[in-house]
Structure 1
Amino acid sequence: MAVGDYAFLIPLLPALAFVLTFFLGKKLPNGGAIIPIIAIATSFVISLLITLGLLRNPEQVINQSVSWFAMLNLGILVDPLAAVMLTMVTFVSLLIHIYSTGYMSHDRAQYRYFAETALFTASMLSLIISDNILQLFISWELVGLCSYLLIGFWYQKPAAASAAKKAFLTTRIGDVMFLAGIVVLFADLFRLYNGAIPDGVFILKFDQIFAQIPQLTAMSTPVLGFQVNHLTLITLLFFGGAVGKSGQFPLHVWLPDAMEGPTTVSALIHAATMVTAGVYLVARTFPMFIAAPDSLMAVAYLGAFTAIFAATMGIVMNDLKRVLAYSTISQLGYMMLGLGVGAAIGAEAVGISMFHLINHAFFKALLFLCAGSVIHAVGTHDMRQLGGVAKVMPITAATMIIAALALAGIGIPGTSIGFSGFISKDAIIEAAYLFGENGGGWFPYVLSIAAALLTSIYIFRLIFMTFFGKPRTAYGGHEAHASMTIPLSILAVLALVFGALTVERFNGFVSETFVNNFVHMDIHALAELGGYHLAAHAGEEPLLILWMPVIVGVAGLLIAYLVYGMRVVNMDKLVSRNNPVYKLLYNRYYQNAILTNFLSIKVVYEGLAFAGRAVDRGFDWTVDWIGNISLDTGDALRHFQTGVVQNYAMIVITGVSLLVILIAVVREVL
């Protein structure tokens, strides 16, 4: 049998590991961690072998499908897009599980932790491998459930329980939009088939959906005097789901609070699972987005705004993990921007966005795991209490500096020399320049450059405050165990060289996702349906444009060094609650006050409470009115109950006489 025949095992093995670990882990060493580690390692090997096979022949995708019921199916799709995601998720998850054996060694609920992380990984792998939108949505919901369980893993802490509920409820807003998009899509496809679905046709499979794109584009409905294109509506609803899962503005508010879970969970959520699901959804349905008028514009603009918006908050956070959380939101904005500029560069957008997603997974997992090592060793994640940690944790410091350089995008433009983040992020920024030059507007490009500057400032602020200078408290500290430093070293090597080694092949390989034996899409024709005009001169950007991301990255490093390393600027006057700008950023633009305290509590909660009281009082009044009517009627009728037989006889005779007279009158009239 070919290795592709075992593709179904990729999500199945971690799912089985969840069951075994949950029931047997309590009796095994390290909470039964060996079970998910072996399962995920096997899934990684299968994923890697399938990816290598597709690299040799990208057209021969794996598609296995069985009928579920009626016109729906369960199926597996492994094409270039899915293959690189499967390989990344299994690899990063495997390293995080190995690291967790040391990090979680003193936790009494290890078995529950490893069971839940195994299910989390299985859910994400199931999402990636789905060949239809409904199956993807079911896995999408399982990913949300697992994130709720893991963010609230230490549920005894009120902050953790609150953060878990906040994540679950916030992402549900996006999930409702995603589900609404599926419902609209199903209704439109059902109408196109006139309700008669041929045998063997599963209308929610991606190949069937893509085949109907021209017909879907032609469908529109008047709403408030405007013609709403159905495909635009569907894709924007899908994007709404991605906004929730991938932390785009304004549904990003759950992501920083998700830091209440174990740091390893943060690494899993922010690097390999959960937040990448939204980016993957837009990439998977890219043919729909590029054929839908205005949809890619919305993706590009919101992605660029999210990148700069989150970066502004990252520069004032003092919590190690919160700085990295806002960094994740910002980088997810870059990934969405990379997909949005497909309005100018076509299917290449999928390649550059996914390339940054993969590189980001390596250096962001490394950043979180390094932060976890620091927290595990010194007992605090407040950077103001640290300083000089590099002296006691040299391996952690060295690997985290590599990750910081990758995040800041340091390299030499025009070459493949540079850290992984440089190779992938710069491609997105250059595509944003083409987007502006091609008539899409300069707003995304300008914001992407500004976000690159702030990214460099906040990550090197973290480095200088944490690892250099003199210790600001007697925190002690020691280097992490080998079970933790070995995964750090592996991720550091990937953050250092993966981008340079794979850039020439990666983008082309992933961009071939929509030209194979499963689907064969003419992206240029679809772009014309969407009203987009693809650029014909990509790769001819001015020299300054090529150097600009590196210039601002180095500038950010120098600013952070002068301010937090050399301390040439007295930050006491700037870092003050009397400074309105600092106060605004530190309070995160008062999002919690606006979204949680005002909208959630005042508008939604109290609004529903008021409506509930009004309805309750209405029911009370109705019930009281019916009761009073019944009592009054009973009182009136009681006077006829005299108990005298003669009275009853007289009433019966009178009634019968009136009935006879009435019948006679009616017969005369008729």
Structure 2
Amino acid sequence: MEYSYVFLILLLPFLSFIVLGLAGMKMPHKTAGLIGTLSLGIVTALSYYTAFCYFTAERGVDGTFATMVPYNFTWLPLGVLNFDLGIMLDPISVMMLIVISTVSLMVHIYSFGYMHGEKGFQRYYAYLSLFTMSMLGLVVATNIFQMYLFWELVGVSSYLLIGFYYPLHAAVAASKKAFIVTRFADMFFLIGILIFGFYTGSFSFSFAGNVVMGDGATPFIPVDVVRAVAAGGFIIPTALVLMFIGGAGKSAMFPLHIWLPDAMEGPTPVSALIHAATMVVAGVFQIARLFPLWIEYAPGQMSIVVYVGVFTAFYAAAVACAQSDIKRVLAFSTISQIAFMMVALGVCLPGHDGAVLDNHAQLGYMASMFHLFTHAMFKACLFLGAGCIIHAVHSNEMSTMGGLRKYMPITHITFLISCIAISGIPPFSGFFSKDEIITACFAYSPVVGWIMTAIAAMTAFYMFRLYYGIFWGTENKELHEHHTPHEAPLTMTIPLIILSVITLTCGWIVNFGSFVSASGLDYEIHLDKQIAITSTVIALISIALATYIYKGEKQPIADILYKRFPKLHRAAYKRFYMDEVWMFITHKVIFRLVSTPIAWFDRHVVDGTFDFIAWGSNAAGETIRPWQSGDVRQYAVWFLTGTVALTLVLLCLL
């Protein structure tokens, strides 16, 4: 059977998790790491082989890639509405296999050096295997319910990895925060799935089009969208918006973003995996997977995705400009860049005739997936580079850095390449994907286009503020006297080099639109010269401004701006007090005004009612206990008394 081996892509990391989870503590550190890394190496090789076979295979008669379903079986039969499990290969799932396996393999190799000597090393690799398997299962799901199962496994994995340093209170608090916030959002995702399944009669991605089933696989149950539309035109849009809330929580969209900065308490390689290839892109993938339904039945509701994405991108960029912890700068950068991808999907609208093949819809969809691909590579490089820096200076704060380019040349060059890429400077990969997003935004609305251009300029500014603060600026010589910074070992620098090379070259992929597009047909990428030149010039101006302010050992302009706008700087540094707002809402509103009355009602009314029933039963039992004394003479007296009483009653009635 064609693609019969693909189950190994999920099975190998799962087996690695089982082996390391059960027997890892009895193994040497190196053995545990090798098991996890080798399993991911095989998975990566299989993913690349699958991509090669899939994208070089002969297309259908309509010119689209076939949607391959090597495996699909009914897990829980519930009448018409079944819960199925399987593997589906289409352009975006195959592309995601490449992204996840590549970044995960780099993280596994990198962790050999970064986590060396850490207590729980084997447990760490077990969690990495579970995390990778969960995300791989999510992207190859054949139906929405299977996606939700692996979606929740991704949440569990992130909880375990964020709280890896469980003796630290901050790590435990961060893991619980991430778990609770994303579970709150996932509740809406589940409600949306149930509404969709109830009214359509299926959870399957049957709108995939040209589906080729594997041997022995059960066919998809057709989605009865007619029934859902007939039940009310709001059914499918409502279900999709509820699912989007789940995606917004997983992808840290405002105001559900508050968990992601705190997630930096986990090991830095985990941050790279969460931010680049797994958790935060799950929401974007969800919208892309359900894109045919959005474009056909809920085009008006796509404006919600646009507005949420635009505001999130601006908010996160503004906060990133004021952070001093290098991992938090990158965290808010991720939030902003994921918002770019959301906006690109949201600005897709069908043509005037309702056709999905409209050039505008094609552009936004392709741009979002392209940016997901390029961003995964340079953001993973940035986070792993940050890990090398933290490994060298034992601190996350920029104040302990400065002048590190002299001590860490490889980290310096790879970090700079990634900074240029995320800033959207040609010919680096970020330019090609981000320019397509901005072009799609201008086609949607000039206002949205200019706002996203300004946010792209902010990205260039805060990234080079970060770059100069780490590698230039004032060197902390007093700290360096006690601990001279040094370049990371090869296990940590080799992944940086590989990811930076991909960052340099993946923008030149021969027409990404020929692999991934909204319709499955080839989409020819044409750069809009005016937009490309404008966005590049603005980004260069932002870089020049950051260079002027932050490159020197002394930063008088930054000090002047801080003194002139201290409240604005503090507000941005404190994330515009969104954590405090959520604490107020949860503690002062939900807990005090909702939870406290419910708790009082539960204790005094519900518990009181059952306590009264228990007391009444006990009292009644105590009252009638003498009737069952076991004394035969007493029974005889009661019997005779009853007999006489009944006789008298009968005589009176007669």
Alignment counterpart, residue 174 of structure 1, candidates 185, 194, 216 = 185
8 Å Cα contact 2:197/2:203 also seen in 1: no
Equivalent residue, structure 2, for 1:465: 469
8 Å Cα contact 1:149/1:164 also seen in 2: yes
With 41-50 and 120-129 compared, the bigger mean Cα shift is at 41-50
Letter in 2 for 1:269: I
Alignment counterpart, residue 332 of structure 1, candidates 338, 343, 360 = 338
- Over 3 Å counting, the alpha-carbon distance change for 1:79 and 1:629 in structure 2 is closer
Equivalent residue, structure 2, for 1:142: 153
Q: Following superposition of structure 1 onto structure 2, how do residues 328-407 of structure 1 map, counting pairs within 5 Å? A: 328-343=334-349, 345-407=360-422
Q: Aligned with 1:510: secondary structure?
A: coil
Q: Aligned with 2:516: secondary structure?
A: helix
8 Å Cα contact 2:29/2:122 also seen in 1: no
Normalising by structure 2, what TM-score? Answer: 0.86
Q: Aligned with 1:68: secondary structure?
A: strand
Identity %: 37
Question: Within 1, Cα distance between the matches of 2:639 and 2:130?
Answer: 78
8 Å Cα contact 1:219/1:231 also seen in 2: no
Equivalent residue, structure 1, for 2:573: 586
8 Å Cα contact 1:61/1:77 also seen in 2: yes
Q: Following superposition of structure 1 onto structure 2, how do residues 192-207 of structure 1 map, counting pairs within 5 Å? A: none
With 19-28 and 145-154 compared, the bigger mean Cα shift is at 19-28
Matched, 1:446 2:445: no
Q: Tell me the number of residue pairs that the alignment of Structure 1 and Structure 2 aligns.
A: 612
Q: Aligned with 1:572: secondary structure?
A: helix
Letter in 1 for 2:52: L
Equivalent residue, structure 2, for 1:414: none
Equivalent residue, structure 1, for 2:198: 187
Deviations 1:383-441 (A, max 9, x none): 02211011111110111011001111112xxxxxx11111101110110000116xxxx
Question: Within 2, Cα distance between the matches of 1:90 and 1:276?
Answer: 14
With 284-293 and 609-618 compared, the bigger mean Cα shift is at 609-618
8 Å Cα contact 1:14/1:118 also seen in 2: yes
Equivalent residue, structure 2, for 1:225: none
8 Å Cα contact 1:420/1:495 also seen in 2: yes
Deviations 1:603-625 (A, max 9, x none): 33343244212321224654676
Gaps of 5+ in 1: 194-200, 221-227, 412-417, 517-522, 524-536, 665-670
Letter in 2 for 1:598: F
Equivalent residue, structure 2, for 1:552: 538
Deviation at 1:470, TM superposition (A): 2.9
8 Å Cα contact 1:79/1:513 also seen in 2: no
- Over 3 Å counting, the alpha-carbon distance change for 1:654 and 1:214 in structure 2 is closer
Matched, 1:69 2:76: yes
Deviations 1:172-193 (A, max 9, x none): 0121111111111111123999
- Over 3 Å counting, the alpha-carbon distance change for 1:401 and 1:621 in structure 2 is same
Equivalent residue, structure 2, for 1:608: 595
Matched, 1:253 2:265: no
8 Å Cα contact 1:375/1:381 also seen in 2: yes
Q: Following superposition of structure 1 onto structure 2, how do residues 200-599 of structure 1 map, counting pairs within 5 Å? A: 208=220, 211-220=223-232, 229-293=234-298, 294-343=300-349, 345-411=360-426, 418-436=427-445, 442=447, 444-472=448-476, 473-475=478-480, 476-499=484-507, 501-502=508-509, 504-511=510-517, 514=520, 544-566=530-552, 569-575=556-562, 579-595=566-582, 597-599=583-585
- Over 3 Å counting, the alpha-carbon distance change for 1:433 and 1:614 in structure 2 is same
Deviations 1:272-296 (A, max 9, x none): 1111111111111110111233232
Matched, 1:106 2:114: no
With 206-215 and 11-20 compared, the bigger mean Cα shift is at 206-215
- Over 3 Å counting, the alpha-carbon distance change for 1:192 and 1:278 in structure 2 is closer
Deviation at 1:299, TM superposition (A): 1.2
Deviation at 1:6, TM superposition (A): 0.9
- Over 3 Å counting, the alpha-carbon distance change for 1:384 and 1:577 in structure 2 is farther
Equivalent residue, structure 1, for 2:208: none
Matched, 1:153 2:174: no
- Over 3 Å counting, the alpha-carbon distance change for 1:432 and 1:115 in structure 2 is same
Q: Aligned with 1:248: secondary structure?
A: coil
Equivalent residue, structure 2, for 1:519: none
Q: Aligned with 1:7: secondary structure?
A: helix
8 Å Cα contact 1:434/1:538 also seen in 2: no
Q: Following superposition of structure 1 onto structure 2, how do residues 58-137 of structure 1 map, counting pairs within 5 Å? A: 58=59, 59-64=65-70, 65-70=72-77, 71-137=82-148
Deviation at 1:450, TM superposition (A): 2.2
Normalising by structure 1, what TM-score? Answer: 0.84
Letter in 2 for 1:599: I
Q: Aligned with 2:75: secondary structure?
A: strand
Letter in 1 for 2:411: T
